[in-house]
Amino acid sequence: MYTLLATSLLAACPPPAMGASGELSEGLVSALASARGELVRVSVVLADQLPPQELIAAGTLSERRLRRAEVIGLLGTHASASQADLLAELGTLRAAGHARRIVPLWVANVVSVDLDRTAALAVAARPDVARLHYSRPRGSEVLSSASAATPVLAPAAVGGGLQCGVDLIGADDVWSQHGIDGRGVVVGVIDTGLCLTHPDIAGQVWRNPLEIPGNGIDDDANGYIDDRNGWNFESQSNDVTDHHGHGSHVAGTLAGDGTGGARCGVAPGCEVMVLKFFNDLAGEASVWEAMQYGLDNGADVLSASLGWHHSWGPDRAMWRTICDNVTAAGMVVVFAAHNFGCNNPPDDVTTPGDVPTVIAVGATDCNDVKAGFSSCGPSTWQGVPPYNDFPYPPGLLRPSISAPGDQVLSHQGCGGYVTMSGTSMATPHVAGALALMLEADPTLDQYSAAGILEATAVDLGPPGHDNETGAGRLDALAAVTAALANGNFCAAKQNSCGSQPSISAGGQSSASATSGFWIVGSEAHASEVGILAYTHAGAAFPPLPFFGGELCLRFPLRRGPIVSSGGTPGQCDGSLDLDMNAFASGNAGGAPAPFLLAPGTTVHCQWWARDSGDPLGVYLTDRLEFIVGP
């Protein structure tokens, strides 16, 4: 980094949260130098980013729509207050010819704008600006398809075939066994656009319900005029037509319904929101705005078959902030791991596939062999302020999961089919499976969805989660079956009195409070003891048999302190309770796991307790899930 300014004014300000005031990225310094007065695309990152704790608190709201509205409200209010003065100055610079195309974003506190050198220096001097990043234009290398499309196959040539990837992951079994095809789920696809008239996809294109097309009016007041099916963030228009082919192919794997002969789509009932970020020169900020649009307009899943190699100098911190923010709002975010093989760890997985909250997708073939091009993990965030985590080695395990992505047949443009390879092709298989899962259980939260995907994957390569194929190859049928059972697959064992013990929570989980969050077990046998078992590894599916009951927690397990039930002798009217805030802060005995103090952690727990009237002497409650609050 090249620090441009160190004036006494800046020195008097408190240090901002991210970086030093007025930093120009190295790439921007040289871009401005060679631009000879031309304007270059810049991301102006404001110093005042919303503290993640506030979003995490909103993210603990249990109902998805409430969570989304709350997070959008917090982000929008914060950005509009924080950016007002900067936007006024940019408006003045624009009037003087030093700036154009001002796109303020609220999904994180950042403004995308084209600036010349004069304007860049003026903006960099502002104490409210953390850094200016050069949004270097990239071509099709950001798309994670490894090989060019092979020549078109006539629809007749592909017969009525179910495509091998769709077959292998059991998507067709989901349709036939459960009658689930992704209906009612909106998937935002950030790509090169979509040919809306391909007969296999025409019925699955999302329609903005409140926007009247072609009247020149922003009917739904979302800031975009006539955005009937999505938006083109590169040209800032409603023309989402695909002139490349990549986006149409990806959308076909997600939602193609086989009208033309080949059944390519995993979730042929879902709706595809077309988020076009690409023309010849693609910028990071266009993808950020596309993510913001998806969040604001009701996408349940975001799928993007693209990524920036670290050597291209992406603003990794901003990518992570934005991915974390939309995830806190309840969206499931899926990005390709990209096609850089396994040569340069920890830099083979591109940004934002390297973001911990993102589901990063690697590619396999239809024989469950990892595709050679598929990027291997791990990733590291060491040296990326303000995060500086996941030091390498060992780094962050990547990819999250793999799916068929080698020689995938899907839609060609406006008609027919074509074969393409890449993690680009694997990614929509996962997005489609998520659409199926969200139809199966519309209440499924973003963290559980990711957890179920990984827990139900077919392990490949080295045993367990590895840096080649992640959790293994996607199994859509197993994932949907688990989603259908989510929340009720773990039945409590009946106690010796014939009643059903259960677990519940009261108060507010907090990583900082020293009391006030109780995990309560009911119907406990009198005068017996119980222990709370808990884990941050997620729910076990299928559950493990345990003393006549079901243990529904994935290992490694942790245990709380031993507590006593009270109650009337011989009866099951006792209760077990543990104040988890007190326990986590060290005030309630035992040795709490550090993750209880990490806001945003999803914890699963069950009580097991002595039951002297039971032949096996033990009962287990059902399972409770909570998210650690700030």
| Interface ranges with Ca ion (CB under 5 A) | 211-212, 215, 217-220, 222, 224, 226-227, 459, 461, 466
Nearest approach in angstroms of CB 231 to Ca ion is 9
Nearest approach in angstroms of CB 463 to Ca ion is 6
Side-chain half-sphere CA neighbours of 104 within 13 A:
21
Angle at 575 between CA 574 and CA 580, to 5 degrees: 165
d(CA 254, CA 403): 12
Question: Is the distance from CB of 397 to CB of 454 less than 8 angstroms?
Answer: no
- Residue 454 has phi, psi (to 5 degrees) of -75, -40
Tracing tokens 């609050």 back to the chain, one arrives at 629
Nearest approach in angstroms of CB 481 to Ca ion is 21
Q: Quick one: 81 or 212, whose CB is closer to Ca ion? A: 212
Nearest approach in angstroms of CB 196 to Ca ion is 17
Q: Quick one: 181 or 211, whose CB is closer to Ca ion? A: 211
Q: Which helix (H) or strand (E) holds 377?
A: none
Q: Is 383 left (phi over 0), alpha (psi -120 to 50) or beta?
A: left
Nearest approach in angstroms of CB 213 to Ca ion is 6
Nearest approach in angstroms of CB 329 to Ca ion is 20
Q: Which helix (H) or strand (E) holds 294?
A: helix 284-296
Question: Is the distance from CB of 565 to CB of 527 less than 8 angstroms?
Answer: yes
DSSP label at residue 60? T
Q: Quick one: 228 or 338, whose CB is closer to Ca ion? A: 228
Q: Quick one: 9 or 217, whose CB is closer to Ca ion? A: 217
Q: Is 33 exposed, middle or buried (0-12, 13-18, 19+ CB in 10 A)?
A: exposed
- Residue 311 has phi, psi (to 5 degrees) of -70, -10
Q: Quick one: 191 or 226, whose CB is closer to Ca ion? A: 226
Nearest approach in angstroms of CB 101 to Ca ion is 19
Q: How far is CA 568 from CA 141, 190, 341, in A?
A: 70, 61, 64
Nearest approach in angstroms of CB 370 to Ca ion is 10
Q: Quick one: 23 or 227, whose CB is closer to Ca ion? A: 227
Task: Convert 332-368 into a string of H (helix), E (strand) and C (coil).
Answer: EEEEECCCCCCCCCCCCCCECCCCCCCEEEEEECCCC
Q: Quick one: 114 or 454, whose CB is closer to Ca ion? A: 454
Question: Is the distance from CB of 618 to CB of 528 less than 8 angstroms?
Answer: no
Nearest approach in angstroms of CB 226 to Ca ion is 4
Nearest approach in angstroms of CB 472 to Ca ion is 5
Question: Is the distance from CB of 314 to CB of 345 less than 8 angstroms?
Answer: no
- Residue 417 has phi, psi (to 5 degrees) of -135, 160
Nearest approach in angstroms of CB 401 to Ca ion is 11
**Bridge partners for 539 per DSSP:** 553
Amino acid at 298: G
Quick check: helix, strand or coil at residue 440?
A: helix
Please spell the DSSP secondary structure of 225-290, one letter per residue.
TT-SSEEETTTTBS----SSSHHHHHHHHHH---TTS-B--S-TTSEEEEEE--SSSB-HHHHHHH
Q: Quick one: 16 or 377, whose CB is closer to Ca ion? A: 377
- Nearest C-alpha neighbor of 523 from the set 626, 605, 614, 589: 614
Nearest approach in angstroms of CB 19 to Ca ion is 35
Q: Quick one: 341 or 461, whose CB is closer to Ca ion? A: 461
Nearest approach in angstroms of CB 576 to Ca ion is 38
Q: Quick one: 351 or 402, whose CB is closer to Ca ion? A: 402
Question: Is the distance from CB of 535 to CB of 556 less than 8 angstroms?
Answer: yes
Q: Quick one: 376 or 513, whose CB is closer to Ca ion? A: 376
Q: Quick one: 48 or 219, whose CB is closer to Ca ion? A: 219
Q: Quick one: 160 or 464, whose CB is closer to Ca ion? A: 464
Label residues 432-462 b or e (16+ Cβ within 10 Å = b): bbbbbbbbbbeebbbbbbbbbbbbbbbebbe
Amino acid at 88: A
Nearest approach in angstroms of CB 230 to Ca ion is 11
Q: Quick one: 141 or 218, whose CB is closer to Ca ion? A: 218
Nearest approach in angstroms of CB 489 to Ca ion is 24
Angle at 447 between CA 251 and CA 69, to 5 degrees: 80
- Nearest C-alpha neighbor of 541 from the set 620, 484, 600: 484
Q: Quick one: 398 or 610, whose CB is closer to Ca ion? A: 398
Tracing tokens 């004014």 back to the chain, one arrives at 9
Q: Quick one: 222 or 508, whose CB is closer to Ca ion? A: 222
Tell how strand 332-336 and strand 359-364 pair up: parallel
Nearest approach in angstroms of CB 405 to Ca ion is 17
Question: Is the distance from CB of 155 to CB of 325 less than 8 angstroms?
Answer: no
